[in-house]
Amino acid sequence: MEQILDKAAQSGDINALYESLRQDPTLLDKYDEPSFVDTPAHIAAAAGSTHFAIEILRLKPSFRTKLNPDGYIPLDLALRSGKTGTVKRLVKHDPELIRVKGREGFTPLHYVAEVGDAELLADLLVACPQSIQDLTIRGETAVHFTVRNKNVRALQVLLGWLKRGNINGQILNWKDENGETALHIAASTNNFEAVKFLINEVRINEQNLEGLTCLDTFMGLAIAGDGRIAKALRCAGAKRSSALHPAKTFADILSSKEPFTRNRPSRHRLGPYRYDTVTKRYRDI
């Protein structure tokens, strides 16, 4: 019976779906027990059988977050199969699908940022604004992906959204597991366009876990870097880490006798931090 249902999902035959359910009312429940399985919703979404996929998700909401053996939800498969129409209808049916984390913590928004589909990226942001805050298991934001893959227009979409929406602007300064901001990545990949767009939007002298600033990473390139990048960074106040004042780590702060305010560093900022004697608060640099 499952094979008949799978064929119906592939072709989008909703009548066959209900005929199968008439013969076995528990048929869809059989997909709940395996932890990882391709449900009829996965099959329909990958095939672009939009109405069938929506009907299945309406009947079995649990399938919306069900991962298949490859770590994908139905929406992921629609994206990876290029079924844009199905993607848009699924998102309209349930905008929160955009925030479901699959393989390696990837969300549909991360994937769209990675491939650089600027139009679809804009649609997803409008449908689910908070999705821009989601991180992968490596601490990567959608901004990291657009920069790493040199998707300039997609980066412009994200920057425009952050400026216009009621969203935390500090996202541009969030660091991945290596302590690198999007600007670090732009500089280390010799990506002048990304540097140009980010340079006035972020804290210019953030340091990664190796203590390197974006200027350090650019100057350390094994190949000849784009001279425009060094010029732009220096004009914006970028410095080598050796020219910065020693910064206090969070451990230094906690072990000191200096007052600790509620305005403590965010979990997304991996240090270092400095105590501002004017505001009497700690800030990351």
Q: Is the pLDDT of residue 281 over 80?
A: no
Q: State the amino acid at position 103 in one-letter form.
A: R
Q: What percent of the chain has pLDDT over 90?
A: 78
Nearest 5°: the CA angle 34, 39, 44 is: 170
Q: Is the pLDDT of residue 282 over 60?
A: no
Mean pLDDT of 69-77: 98
The pLDDT-based confidence of 279 (bands split at 50, 70, 90) is: very low
Cis status of the peptide bond prior to 272, with omega within 30 of 0? yes
Query: Which DSSP string do the residues of 176-241 spell out, in sequence order?
Result: -TTS--HHHHHHHTT-HHHHHHHTTTS-TT---TTS--HHHHHHT-SS---HHHHHHHHHTT---G
Entry pTM: 0.86
Round to whole Å and give the CA distance between 177 and 155. Answer: 21
The pLDDT-based confidence of 67 (bands split at 50, 70, 90) is: very high
Q: State the amino acid at position 222 in one-letter form.
A: A
Q: What pLDDT, on the 0 to 100 scale, is given for residue 57?
A: 97
The pLDDT-based confidence of 264 (bands split at 50, 70, 90) is: low
Q: Residue for token digits 């002048």?
A: 192
Round to whole Å and give the CA distance between 188 and 283. Answer: 25
Q: Is the pLDDT of residue 274 over 60?
A: no
Q: What pLDDT, on the 0 to 100 scale, is given for residue 37?
A: 96
Q: What are phi and psi of 271, to 5 degrees?
A: 80, 180
For the chain, give me the number of helices (H) and strands (E)? Answer: 15, 2
Residue pair 197/156 in contact by the 8 Å Cβ criterion: yes
> What is the number of residues in the chain?
285
Residue pair 145/113 in contact by the 8 Å Cβ criterion: yes
Query: Residue ranges per domain, the chain?
Result: 1-81, 245-285
Would you call 190 helix, strand, or coil by DSSP?
Answer: coil
Count of Cβ atoms closer than 10 Å to residue 12 Cβ: 17
The pLDDT-based confidence of 271 (bands split at 50, 70, 90) is: very low
Mention every residue, 6+ apart, whose C-beta is less than 8 A from residue 57. 41, 63, 64, 74, 90, 93, 94
Q: Which pair of structure tokens corresponds to residue 265?
A: 């560093």
Q: What pLDDT, on the 0 to 100 scale, is given for residue 167?
A: 64
The tens digit of pLDDT for each residue in 126-157 reads: 999 999 999 999 999 999 999 999 999 999 99
Mean pLDDT value across the chain: 90
Q: What pLDDT, on the 0 to 100 scale, is given for residue 169?
A: 63
CA 83 from chain center: how many Å?
Answer: 20
Q: What pLDDT, on the 0 to 100 scale, is given for residue 277?
A: 44
Q: What pLDDT, on the 0 to 100 scale, is given for residue 278?
A: 40
Q: Which architecture characterizes domain 1-81 according to CATH?
A: Alpha Horseshoe (1.25)
Q: Which pair of structure tokens corresponds to residue 243?
A: 């020219």
> Among 69, 57, 135, which residue's Cα sits nearest to residue 95?
57
Q: Is the pLDDT of residue 60 over 90?
A: yes
Q: What pLDDT, on the 0 to 100 scale, is given for residue 263?
A: 52
Would you call 273 helix, strand, or coil by DSSP?
Answer: strand
Query: Which DSSP string do the residues of 50-78 spell out, in sequence order?
Result: HHHHHHHHHH-GGGGG---TTS--HHHHH
Q: Which pair of structure tokens corresponds to residue 212?
A: 């390197």
Residue pair 140/181 in contact by the 8 Å Cβ criterion: no
Round to whole Å and give the CA distance between 83 and 78. Answer: 5
The tens digit of pLDDT for each residue in 82-130 reads: 999 999 999 999 999 999 999 999 999 999 999 999 999 999 999 999 9
